[in-house]
Structure 1
Amino acid sequence: MSIALAIGLTLSPVIALQAITFYDGPKIDENGLAIEYNNGVCRVAVKGKDSDGERIFAEFSRRLRDGNLSVSLEGPFMQQFSDADPNANHPVTVVFDTGSSAPSRSGGYDVGGFRESAWGGWGPGEASDATYAALRGKSAFSVEMDGNTYGPFTWTGSGALWTALDDCEADNS
């Protein structure tokens, strides 16, 4: 083997890593929210911190065809759950700044992919509608899951997260 080939093979993983774009979270606007619509789903993301002070993101999504509401969390904290069973049910509880809370029907860890997350969902119908309504007028929330608390997640303007979801639904229905 030539020296040039050996050096090339040694450096190729380093050079390949330079071409990878690492996910740095959604593009947050001046109100502290990132709003997105695609494939019949409205999503609003907001940043917060985990217990180690690391930046994380929470995203509420609402599927327009049936009103199914879910929340997902992304950030470095997911490394500790890399061995989590993706089929196990780990519901979350969203705790609002007013002290009210909304426990999800289901939840879990989406691990092993490029964008790993923890999530909770309320399912179509009454539970999603109640949690969606509970977002109205709020300006912060935290998420509790498996004895851990993430957040608080805050934004500018009381009820702005609910308004962004509602506007997205109105614009795309």
Structure 2
Amino acid sequence: MSLDAVSISRLMSKNVIIAEQNQNVYWICKLLSQNNVGCLIVVNDLDEKKPVGIVTESDIVKTIGKLDLHQLQVPIKNHMSHPVITMPVSGTVTDAMRIMCEKRVRRIVIIENDKMVGIVTDKDLLKFMIDNKDVLSEFMTLSPRENMPKEDSSHFWFCNRYVG
């Protein structure tokens, strides 16, 4: 099995926690906590589900560190990361790895007809490779890339070992 042959739809999580962009920081914190997730996707509205941003735990920590307590009521659209990085549901694992490397992100929203249908993370990709020894073996035999920063493990794995 080759990474080029594996559809990203096979790995993506379809149960994505979403919020509208006018929800406040406090509400977003509650959603992340109640659902035990590290990120949520901000959409234009709950029916259309067009992704307009992403909020990660890191975004929340940075935001709260800058705000006074009474400011937790400000809309999340003022603090989300945007534009959200997306790829089509027809993409492959290789495509996802390349995008993560080039954009230096750990999460990609999967879309179909401009509508969010899932999310894939660096952990999803790593778990897939570990669960599929033939893919992991192919991945590990490739030569590392030169001149690539090694700040975080996913960037090292995906950029230095495979994508390029």
Query: TM-score band, normalised by the shorter chain?
Result: under 0.3
Higher helix share: 2
Larger Rg: 1
* Structure-1-length-normalised TM-score: 0.25
